[in-house]
Each structure stands twice: as structure tokens, then as C-alpha cells.
Amino acid sequence: MNSFEIYTILKDHFGGVGSWWPKDSPFEVVIGAILTQQSTWTNVEKAIKNLKEEKILTPRDISYVPLNKLKYLIKPSGFFNQKAERLKGISEYLLRNYNGDISLLLSKDKVELREELLKLKGVGKETADSIILYAAEKNEFVVDAYTKRLYSRLGNVEEKIEYDDLKKYITTEIPEELTIYQEFHGLIVLLGKNLCKKKNPKCINCPLASKCSFNLKL
Ligand code: SF4
């Protein structure tokens, strides 16, 4: 089963999820992309809700809030010491280099933007690609743990495939369109959270079950 078929089946099953990443501003994507590292969306949402209640939503707000308060507010997302430092670092970088205006960074050419993001402390490939796809709204496919699990269980790739290899594998099989890139990642997350779970996947309810090598071996 190729990636476009997977996308189509998931879209038929879950419905259109549009640009999927919940956000009120591009910088909120950056906050979410850091907080979601080694965490679940449910816990990220609790941390973002805390920040919103305190009206801490811009690079300036984050760089001015006392570190301990920031740690306390984002605690639900886990690894809060490290994540607070990362959020402060990125916010201070944006203030220093772009007067806090993230749109100036996001408007850069995709390749240049990715290189710059990857130089920031705590920003790896998945985080950078999430920011490019959902904050800058440029075509850069995001691969995460849900994607690796899905593709290896389907039998398409090895479980230990590298980030760039899986990204290339998928993007050669789907049209390079922003809506498809954004929506496909969102659909994979929905599948991973609800059906293709790490433990006890609910294959019986899965729309991909008839073509999944993991399910067929059960
Ligand atoms: S059939 Fe099971 S293992 Fe395969 S993709 Fe669906 S939930 Fe995951």
C-alpha cells in the first residue's frame, strides 16, 4: 500500500482534518513543537492552556517571565526544566535577531529556514519540520514516532529507519501539496493516538487492517 492510498483511507475514515495543528498564532506552533517533545498532546494542551491563562504567548512574554514560573506553567508537558530553557532560548533568539517578530524568520526560504531552526538549541528535525509545516505553512513533511510505528507495522519499512529516509520514502509517494502534507501528518497522529497504539493496537477497528502485515500476523 503506498502513502497516497494510506492518506486516502485515513481521510475517509477520520474525515478531513485540515491544517490540523491547533494554533492561534505561528508562535504557538513553536511553543507546541517544543512542549510535545517526549510528551502527549493531551499534556501539551494543559501546558498551553496554563500559558494562555497567564497571557504568555509571545517571544517577549516568554523571555520576561521568571524561569521558575515558566517551568511551573509548562509542568504538565513533562521535562519542564529542559523545555523551559529551550523556550527561553528560542524566544531570546527571536528578540535579538528579529525584534520578536517570528514572521520575519518564517518568511525565509524553506531551506534557509530549516538550517536556521536546526541551529537552535533543542530544535531537532521533527521540531523544525513541524514549525516549517504548521507555522511557516511551507511544504516540509513531518515524521514522528507515530509515523515510524505505522509504516513499520504496515510492513513498508524497517522499524529503525532514519528520519530522513522515512520522510523521503513518504514524500516520493504523495503530491507535494501543503494541505496534503499538513493533513496526512494529522491523520497519522489521530491513528496513532486512537488505534495504532504502542501497546494493544486496536486493529479490529483500523481501516488499514486488511493490508497491514502486523495485523495479518496476529
Ligand atoms: S492494523 Fe493494527 S497495527 Fe496495523 S496500522 Fe492498524 S492499528 Fe496499526
pLDDT value of position 124: 96
Among 1, 151, 154, 204, the mutation site with the greatest number of ligand 1 atoms within 8 A of its Cβ is 154
pLDDT value of position 19: 82
Task: Give the number of other CB atoms < 10 A from CB of residue 112.
Answer: 10
Residues with CB under 6 Å of ligand 1 are: 150, 153-154, 195-196, 201-203, 206, 208-209, 212, 214-215
What is the distance in A from the centroid of ligand 1 to the CA of 69? 41
How do the domains of the chain map onto residue ranges?
3-18+142-217, 26-135
Confidence grade of residue 203 (pLDDT, cut at 50, 70, 90): very high
pLDDT value of position 162: 97
The pLDDT tens digits for 151-166 are: 999 999 999 999 999 9
* % of the chain beyond a pLDDT of 90: 91
CATH code at 26-135: 1.10.340.30
* % of the chain beyond a pLDDT of 70: 100
Q: Give the residue whose CA is nearest to atom 8 of ligand 1.
A: 196
What is the distance in A from the centroid of ligand 1 to the CA of 10? 12
113-151 b/e with 16+ CB inside 10 Å = b? bbeebeebeebebbbbbbbbbbbbebbbbbbbebbbbbb
What is the reported pTM?
A: 0.95
pLDDT value of position 21: 87
CATH code at 3-18+142-217: 1.10.1670.10
